[in-house]
Amino acid sequence: MSSQNMNDRMKTILTKIDRGLVKIYGERLDKIILYGFQARGDARLDSDIDILIVLKQSFSYSQ
């Protein structure tokens, strides 16, 4: 897979993640932070996607 195809695929995946998290958390969502190999730009085909979800307020895992 070319670097451009990988970047396009990653953009598609991140857009879907963003939309899904907005749907789940709505106004409580503050930001989504990409970190790790993908953020640094040195990811391989088998690299995972590391994201940090920041909410505007605390939450309970039991919600």
pLDDT tens, 21-61?
999 999 999 999 999 999 998 888 899 999 999 999 887 77
| Rounded distance between C-alpha atoms, residue 10 and residue 12, angstroms | 5
Distances (CA, A) of 6 to 10, 23, 60: 6, 26, 36
- For the chain, the distance separating the N- and C-terminal CA atoms, rounded to the nearest angstrom, is 40
Res 60: pLDDT = 75
Res 56: pLDDT = 93
Res 7: pLDDT = 83
Give the mean model confidence (pLDDT) for residues 9-19: 94
Taking the C-alpha atoms of 8, 19, 47 and 32 in order, what is their torsion angle to the nearest 10 degrees?
110
26-39: b or e for each residue (b if 16 or more CB lie within 10 Å)?
Answer: eeebeeeeeeeebe
